[in-house]
Structure 1
């Protein structure tokens, strides 16, 4: 059902059986229409972005906030929550408390040398491709980190340049930067 840069880079249909099983049990896709779905859920094709405001409902992020807060902590289980959502989709659910403490949000930065000095910038379109490749690499390697710290280690082992610091306060999500030179 889902297409685009992230899904093309993830290549679900081309994963081996073990990686597909892992994807089916561990990945959630946030949807403006359905809330959140598993990658194997059978749903019809649709077009309804989370950023849409519908007459009578308003902004979909706000619409989904209460139902998501009710069901997603249980869906998150007791392991790592790797949050790769864009800003519009992040409005639908904010991890809180213990779940937030084991959540990692990822930002992709491009590193360029300009005049002998490293300059970093947030990438947009290629951000999605990098996130898709990153998830694919984790799935194909069978890596299932249980914590943000283990995610940093796993991504490093897979060849990613990763920078992260534990949050200063308990109950806050980790912010992890993945630094790329080429997009």
Structure 2
């Protein structure tokens, strides 16, 4: 992993970005299934905010969200940029105000006033982390138990499987309409 100005860059960033682009999902309309998944995740973990975040070159886009009005942020302020470098583990920040990586972050010092963050990587094609399923609280938390980390990881797997399924459905529809035309 190398470090950019304010956020870490995975060692294989170009391959990661290619995997994300191959999914053709960043600029697509909301999907009800993903909205339901983030709503369920927020309910299960009793947090006000849950997101499916896709991390691009310069920004992160929220493909599904609950508890947050914005649809994207710059990658420089992205907690998820840190989470995607973990690959096989959940990235947890118990109190962002006490973490030197985030204490001055505008998402901590201002709205939405992030205190607690936990993100499980969304591992896409070619085993690349394309984003996260994350939970956010406006108050600090002690962290996550191993069981909670496993639960968030399993939910992230469900999200990526839904994304892959939707891609197959869309490709079949496009193939069918091309054959009909």
- The normalised TM-score by structure 2 is 0.27
Higher relative contact order (CA 8 A, sep 6+): 1
